[in-house]
Structure 1
């Protein structure tokens, strides 16, 4: 990096590439050209339903029609991958957790790899999110709403099931990550799923009972913690008083030892000086 001025610019930039304003011969002048904007396309219901997923995944869907008949309501076929449920993931309470599941089955003669993506990766725990399926093999994918997130906005979330033919079924997690990282331009089949939460009455009842239970547990823990802190504070004060008393007692004992030691030394000195002689009054 060099700092130049009008005089030293010629040492760095040729004169034919230097503007006239800086002593060169280039007569370039900046001209602003307004951007030509096309009219926005009219929004349709189909466009409104499109979901944009992370990592720049494509948004077009590819399906395999069977005899040009309508797919069953509970099963969809995206390429060679049979997806169940076909349209909506139904979430239900498993204890205090809200969970759903997806079943994938490979109906092709070759091996395929799958990947599950969502519009909000931070909200869900998906296990397994990627993997491979041998011919006629199936896998059940568990989806759990992470703690701290509300179930009310769950119906706005979407899931994307992606599949891709591969040559080997024994791929490590690193190899699978590299495969999907380099999936651009490959024949990736996709299928989207919506989310459905339990009915409001069931949800409120379960949420209410869970919230009440959690609130009671938290209140009890807070009371126990406060009691422990109070007991610890009292014990600390008692210990401080005892240590202070022992310190004073220790100082007193040292003084007494020094006093009696000095007195004994003085008496022994007198005994040695007078040799045990005594004077009696006549």
Structure 2
């Protein structure tokens, strides 16, 4: 993961220097609520070296937002990597003074700004392969419709589809296609089979052809037949998805995307040209998540994320991760307790030293030559 972050950071800096030559940037590190587990010295060192070696004039300021005092030792190490001029560009800011460097409308709300942006991860979809149909005329498209509507349907029928239909209506009715299942693909793992599969049924109730494509976030795990094609009016096509052996433990992380688009009868464009020329508003999209189950033909036990199957490798890994996270949090609390204890001991030690110095000074002044001579004079007068 770290090499990808480094590449992404380098790419952003290069794009900034190319698109806006001579314009400097402000780099903001949000340290609010950060702990020792968030400290990555290797990444920080990489960022510093990027500015020192490749983009020396790009950085205006590096802002550290609300850095906990726990990182004071780390800052001393980082400071040694920088020259005096670079140290001047690093500013430690809070909600009060960060507005001196960044406008309020460009700051997040928790930093005192007005920007309501919230990051949401959207997995990237990739073509599932298998080749796209490329037909220059409507006659060849008709042949495709016949083959995808009849032969594929026979090959794709199985126990999973009959179970799904027997449980009631489980379809998503979109503006172009009706897609079954509506929400998730279920791959049932049998003891005597090497591959699990499920089927997506695409039904066209409109009076014109509909082109479709099926994409996934993990194309290396699945074989999709067909991955693209046409659904002619009043018919349905089944897309069979095979899960390859060895990927059962990570299926719950994957998603599928079904894309559909209206096709004019008189169009002479190829299949690829149709999708390239299509406007985004004209394309229907529907996402499906993936789960894994084990059992016989009448149902099984789900092995996806959050399942409670004791024998599944996924649940065992989840337990190990939970234990590891708990130990990490406990270690972080112990470190914080140790730091607070050291700070308390330092304060107590300083108080003792100050008290001892004051007492020593008082004792020294009471035994000074002036006081001793005055004491002798008093004795003599008596």
TM-score (norm 2): 0.36
Q: Greater share of helix residues, 1 or 2?
A: 2
Rg bigger for which structure? 1
